[in-house]
Structure 1
């Protein structure tokens, strides 16, 4: 039985979204997302020659609420000294569906980011613009679509290349002296992380009826590289920061878990799910040195897709944050042990993220 929902005309495209987007819902710089994936049609076994899919996805968020652990730092907004990140990313994804089991995809992200912060009572902004880290991956349905007609599981394996500028620089204002100093922008608005990573994915769906079904996704980016050598701040690093390796930027792992349900009404697909975007404290492979803002965001994710014929789909999704947690980093833990004073950095988070886009089949 086929799924009638076509977020992208095949479930393959939702995989693209999972790995393609530079999804940072704030200062916790998570460069991955399951932005768009819910019910979809059964793998097409009638097209022996395969076909192409092209997706253009636009994403925007504004992070401004600071958290230490799960505790929001309300005083930052009251005192007007909170950091405000505005991030716009355009993801361009091209997929070649080879047959009803195998597919290949490449994702090109382009980002336009800004970060507003306060120095000595004066607010100023830094910016970054350009191509992010390109991702290439292959996918296979684990079960024969001719036999597994109401459900299936897809596995993916890919490479994230270090194509994005991980040392993008702009001018920082010293309000006390009026001097502007050129330096690397904050990690949260860098275009890349400077490391080659390996991605692994599991994507599944189960069709209860031709109108109602469930979906689930698990994604992990493993980054073996420890640090990328970019200074944490334009200001001189403290002795503690140097001793704990918090003076240079880390190249962290990332992972995503999503699940939910979708309902078809005429040409519309309405979905509601839960997602957990996480930047872990420690990596699976490689060292854990360097500055990072580990944490996770648990969000409710409503979405709607409108199908135009058999070849075009329009969609909109808006993950809404429920729980935001900036966890203690390795340099935080080391600083606590070194100084005897508990150290736990903060991070700014968004309330929601907007994803809108269009997909073509040809």
Structure 2
């Protein structure tokens, strides 16, 4: 029974790992989460063990919101901006002890953005970006051990996000009545990085709430002290000419159930909120950004076979809000309130395969 309970805990932890990404549209929420859940969650490991995972994400954003009000006329008129984003994170974690773990996350992206307004406003064209994103490294620590962790545990983490992704990626735009091909920087929402070095603090936890049901929770906040990154936005307003380097946050919680009759199968349902704040916690908040947040319901399913676990989570948007930015406020007057819009997705597909490498496998490999 004890071994079975441990497997259930590992399964549940592996399951709720794919809380990553959440660049769900023009609100440029980067495709990663807190370090604790960026690795497919083999973080409840024995000393000397590894966990390697690959997380794939996809979404299509096209519904425009100004505040929490949707603008359906954009789709009806054919003027909506459409973003397609694909992301792949390779994540590696290692247990230095029963409670302390370290990890590294290597992100790759492919993005497409289709619009009229960025080109000649009469013909729809597509811009692209692809390559390596912003790498993260960090560590986490489980607060409880031994008998105290029998029914559950909470971990806290700390890490650094490095500006390894291209934050000035360019593509071909078609300008003027003659559609002249012009090379310029792509929109902030499909840039591969933000150009800042960020500090990530996070937490995660899992508690048995009876039989084979577990309560899970995790969240993170990324502090990005750098104000702007020098990348031109190609926008007309002077205070929006350069891209901002914003903070980012996410929080999620829910219930996970393991099916006793089908060993290894689990399902979950929960909620999540993720977004970009109007003001950074530290440093300035000038430059162009599209702040906002998304509240979603998140069903999921997982299956574990031996040390390999596959999970699928599909967050479905319930509430979307493109909040008023600092530059919106600066550009507003008593007679004219400026409030920019943003395109959001209806849902996000999140699929992870994680492989836990027990210490005994490593010892056998080293003996060869």
TM-score, normalised to structure 2's length? Answer: 0.89
Query: Hey, what's the Cα distance between the residues in 1 that align with 2:42 and 2:29?
Result: 29
Deviations 1:251-275 (Å, cap 9, x if unpaired)? 0000011010011113211000000
Give the corresponding residue for 1:328: 324
Give the corresponding residue for 1:74: 72
From the superposition, tell whether residues 36 and 179 of structure 1 become closer, same or farther in structure 2 (CA, over 3 Å): same
Query: Hey, what's the Cα distance between the residues in 1 that align with 2:273 and 2:67?
Result: 16
SS of 1:334 mapped into structure 2: helix
Query: Hey, what's the Cα distance between the residues in 2 that align with 1:209 and 1:3?
Result: 15
Corresponding position: 1:361 with 2:356: yes
Counting only pairs closer than 5 Å after superposition, residues 101-140 of structure 1 correspond to structure 2 as 101-118=99-116, 119-140=120-141
Deviations 1:145-195 (Å, cap 9, x if unpaired)? 432210211000000000000000011112512201111000000000000
Corresponding position: 1:304 with 2:298: no
**TM-fit CA distance, 1:246:** 1.3
Counting only pairs closer than 5 Å after superposition, residues 262-281 of structure 1 correspond to structure 2 as 262-265=256-259, 266=262, 267-281=264-278
SS of 2:167 mapped into structure 1: coil
Query: Hey, what's the Cα distance between the residues in 2 that align with 1:296 and 1:42?
Result: 28
8 Å CA contact 1:65–1:82 kept in 2: the answer is: yes
From the superposition, tell whether residues 293 and 42 of structure 1 become closer, same or farther in structure 2 (CA, over 3 Å): closer
Query: Hey, what's the Cα distance between the residues in 2 that align with 1:269 and 1:12?
Result: 11
Moved more, 118-127 or 270-279: 118-127
Moved more, 92-101 or 132-141: 92-101
SS of 1:146 mapped into structure 2: helix
Give the corresponding residue for 1:89: 87
From the superposition, tell whether residues 293 and 163 of structure 1 become closer, same or farther in structure 2 (CA, over 3 Å): same
Give the corresponding residue for 1:314: 310
Query: Hey, what's the Cα distance between the residues in 1 that align with 2:124 and 2:77?
Result: 12
1:290 aligned to which of 279, 287, 299: 287
Deviations 1:25-66 (Å, cap 9, x if unpaired)? 1111111347979x989945xx4x420100011100000000
8 Å CA contact 1:9–1:361 kept in 2: the answer is: no
Corresponding position: 1:171 with 2:172: yes
From the superposition, tell whether residues 113 and 250 of structure 1 become closer, same or farther in structure 2 (CA, over 3 Å): same
Query: Hey, what's the Cα distance between the residues in 2 that align with 1:289 and 1:95?
Result: 36
TM-score, normalised to structure 1's length? Answer: 0.90
SS of 2:124 mapped into structure 1: strand
8 Å CA contact 1:10–1:43 kept in 2: the answer is: no
Query: Hey, what's the Cα distance between the residues in 2 that align with 1:316 and 1:228?
Result: 35
Counting only pairs closer than 5 Å after superposition, residues 16-27 of structure 1 correspond to structure 2 as 17-18=18-19, 21-27=20-26
CA RMSD of aligned residues (A): 2.2
From the superposition, tell whether residues 96 and 232 of structure 1 become closer, same or farther in structure 2 (CA, over 3 Å): same
Give the corresponding residue for 1:29: 28
Give the corresponding residue for 2:252: 258
In structure 2, stretches of 5+ residues that fail to align are 358-368
